[in-house]
Chains A and B, each alone.
Chain A
Amino acid sequence: MNKKYIKIFIAFLGFLLVVTVFLAIESAGNGSKLYYLEKERTRLEEENRQLKTELIAKTSLTKIEEIALSLGMKKSEDIIYIDSEVPIAKLP
């Protein structure tokens, strides 16, 4: 009877040992994954920030004006207002 309990106890200890080793390996592996994911998150955040900075620079009014002028666009000098109340042309 006692031998049976001892065997069970030893088996249980063995099981605990295996579980501990397994958890330690898993923990180390997951720690490594976490480290990698955090690095990746930082990289993506930096990239996102860089893209945002580029977006800000390229959508500024100053930049748009520069591009518009380089494309040959210019500000209209004379503005003619057309009275919407009076028809421009009438059917006979």
Chain B
Amino acid sequence: MKKDARLQLLGIFLAISSVVLLGRLFFWQVLKGSELSTQARFQYQTRDILFAPRGSILAKDSTWLAASEEAYLVFAFKPDIKRTPREIANLLAHFFVEDSQNQQQLLNEAMRIEGLLSREDVVWIPLKRKVSKTVKESIASLNIDGIGFEKEEKRFYPEGSSAANLLGFVGKDKDGNDKGYFGLEGYWDLSLSGKHGFVERESDARGNPILFGETKETPAVGGIDLVTHIDKAVQRVAEEKLQKGIQKYGAKGGLVVVMNPTDGGVMAIAVSPSYDPKTYQKFSDELFRNPAISDSFEPGSIIKPLVMAAALDKKVVDMDTKCDICSGPVKIDRYMIETWDKKYYPDSTMVDIIVHSDNVGMTFVAQKLGADALYDYFKAFGFTEITGIDLQGEANIPLRAKGKWSSIDLATASFGQGIALTPIQIVRAFAAIANGGFLVKPQVVDKIQKGSWSQDLKVEAQHRVLSEETTLKVKEMMVAAVKNGEAKWTATRGFRIAGKTGTAQIPISGHYDEEKTIASFVGFAPADKPKFVMLVTLREPSSSPWGSETAAPLWFDIAKELFFYFGIRPES
């Protein structure tokens, strides 16, 4: 072959090679460039999630009421699965059921897992959320190809269902992220929630980080802890006694609220029926609400000391003012106002009216006070708005507007009918009598903290709603009501307790049901230097409709324990 021919051949060969090479380069660089770039990034870049745990909820003594523990999401990655869906389902089912001896549960769970694994449209399948570390380790030891774990956390309530309506629970939002609902978990959700971070950096072939490589890091921000006023011992006593009381008096439900009258710190809210926040899915939605802050009821006779306080403060009556309409029923418009026991006490003093829980006497007081003044005092007691307690779900029913009260509205309001209040509003108003006349804002969280940092949540400026002189007079009336009123048989002897019974009929379809009542007792002790103010209500007690025979003995039963716990000594 001639030299030129060989050169031409070589030239053609080089040209073809160049075209092939360019074509190949185009394929890898342009067509496959993006995919390869991603693959390369996975090879030399690692990305780790920095976990931020949800904050804890602590009791007054800094022990835990709610905390988060490590948990795992069990998932299946279909391309790596080597066994049949049924085999895997049978292996995993007994780890996921509550009772592994229950064959029906096992079968249902196995079928659920098999169904998930048989799906054709997905590659990554979440099988079970929030499994414990022990379960995760047990599953991992089986070495099932294609089954993996992703770290997450689950809420842990060491006291079980105690204070459930105060705490709330952690569920999922629409995107599947943890979210607090109701109570403290709901109200403080944003603060309690941590924000996960991540670290992304270049790694060598063995996965070790390259020190001089590119690093991006967003630190995790853990949720803050809440230190509450909740006293576990008080909460426990209230719950145990409430449960026994409900059984003893055949009530449909009930609640107990215990608050420090000086700073508004809520020590306990016991509610029955309630739920377990850990397994909230098994309970009806109705149980999640906290009736102490969400449900209004006609307070009945427990309102009387507050109306009397208003009249005394306004100086329209005094302790020894005599009621000149108390000798019998009194007619207002077309309605007859009677006493609860049909007994009448002519010339009753204001103390007698409270001791006898006299509706006619209270009508006398209300008439002296007038509708506008009563409205103003109700407003001052905080009855026209929510208390602002730091719990999710507070609601109230507004009072009838000022200036629109008829004479019968004024009369019935004086003995607690025709108005509706929440238990926390009532407790707050009585705290004002207990602490010398200041309206406090109920508060569950005392301080927030994170590591060594903490911040006290200052009590909001309190304003005076009653003069000290008035509160002293009303305290004496309430002490007399406990000693000489219809609940005197059950009062704890030796202690100076200020209290008042109440029996409110439940309005149904525009009239009052004689059979259905809400029995209540509100009081504080020791009367002169109160350590706590407490409200007990029982819904529809069947043993007796009267507060003096149901809620009052329960109140004293709880108080007896609290006296010992708080170191309150008897006076005699």
Closest to B199 in A: A38
Of residues 21 through 78 on chain A, the ones whose CB sits less than 8 Å from some CB of chain B are 27-28, 30-32, 34-35, 46, 49-50, 52-53, 56-57, 59-63
Q: Give the interface size bracket for A toward B.
A: 20 to 34
Chain A residues near B75 (CB-CB < 8 A): none
Contact B208 A62 (CB under 8 A): no
In the assembled complex, A79 has its CB within 8 A of some CB on chain B: yes
A28 to B202, CA, bound (A): 12
Are B69 and A53 in contact, CB atoms less than 8 angstroms apart? yes
Report how far A1 CA is from B156 CA in the complex, Å. 81
Q: Inside 8 A of A63's CB, which chain B residues have their CB?
A: 158
Is B233's beta carbon under 8 Å from chain A? yes
Cβ of A5 within 8 Å of any chain B Cβ, yes or no, is no
B159: chain A residues at CB < 8 Å are 60-62
Chain B: residues with CB nearer than 8 A to chain A? Answer: 53, 63-64, 67, 69-70, 133, 156, 158-160, 162, 203-204, 206-212, 232-233, 236, 494, 564, 569-570
Q: Evaluate whether A56 and B232 lie within 8 angstroms (CB atoms) in the complex, with A27-B211, A32-B208 already known.
A: no
Q: In the complex the two chains form, what is the Cα distance from A27 to B210 in whole Å?
A: 7
Rounded to whole Å, the gap between the CB of B11 and the closest CB of chain A is 40
Q: Is the CB of B67 within 8 A of A53?
A: yes
Question: Per DSSP, are chain B's interface residues mostly helix, strand or loop, or mixed?
Answer: loop
Q: Within 8 Å CB of A79, what residues of B? A: 564
- Cβ–Cβ contact B70 & A35, under 8 A: no
Least CB distance from A40 to B in Å reads 14
A60 to B69, CA, bound (A): 15
Residue of A nearest to B153 (CB): A49
**A27 and B212 contact, Cβ closer than 8 Å, known pairs A56-B64, A56-B67:** yes
A31 and B208 contacting across the interface, CB-CB below 8 Å = yes
Given known A31-B210, A50-B133, A53-B156, contact A81–B67 (CB-CB < 8 A):
no
B156 contacts A30, C-beta separation under 8 Å: no
Residue contact B211 to A34, C-beta cutoff 8 Å: yes
When A56-B64, A62-B158 are in contact, do A35 and B207 touch as well, CB less than 8 Å? yes
Q: A63 vs B570: C-alpha distance in the bound complex, in angstroms?
A: 32
Q: Is there an interface contact between A61 and B236, defined as CB atoms closer than 8 Å? A: yes
Asked, given contacts A49-B69, A56-B64, A56-B158, whether A61 binds B232 with beta carbons under 8 Å apart, the answer is yes
- With A49-B69, A53-B156, A62-B158 given, can you name 8 additional A-B contacts, CB distance below 8 Å? A27-B212, A31-B211, A34-B208, A35-B207, A50-B133, A60-B63, A81-B569, A81-B570
When chains A and B are docked, how far (Å) is the Cα of A30 from the Cα of B209? 9
* Contact call A57/B158, Cβ cutoff below 8 A: yes
**5 pairs, A vs B, C-beta closer than 8 Å:** A31-B211, A34-B208, A46-B70, A49-B69, A56-B64
Bound-complex Cα distance A30 to B208 (A) = 9
Q: Specify which chain B residues have a CB less than 8 angstroms from the CB of A31 in the assembled complex.
A: 203-204, 208-211
Do A30 and B211 have beta carbons less than 8 Å apart?
yes
Q: How far is the CA of A60 from the CA of B67 in the complex (A)?
A: 12
Q: Is the Cβ of B208 less than 8 Å from the Cβ of A59?
A: no
Residue numbers in B under 8 Å from A27 (CB-CB): 210-212
Please list the 8 inter-chain residue pairs (A to B) with the smallest Cβ-Cβ separation, ordered nearest first: A60-B158, A31-B208, A53-B69, A35-B208, A56-B64, A32-B208, A31-B209, A61-B232
CB distance from A39 to the nearest CB of B (A): 11
Shortest CB–CB separation between residue A67 and chain B, in angstroms?
14
Report the bound CA distance from A67 to B369 in whole Å. 58
Distance (whole angstroms) from the CB of B137 to the closest CB of chain A:
11
Please tell me if the beta carbons of A53 and B211 are within 8 angstroms of each other in the complex: no
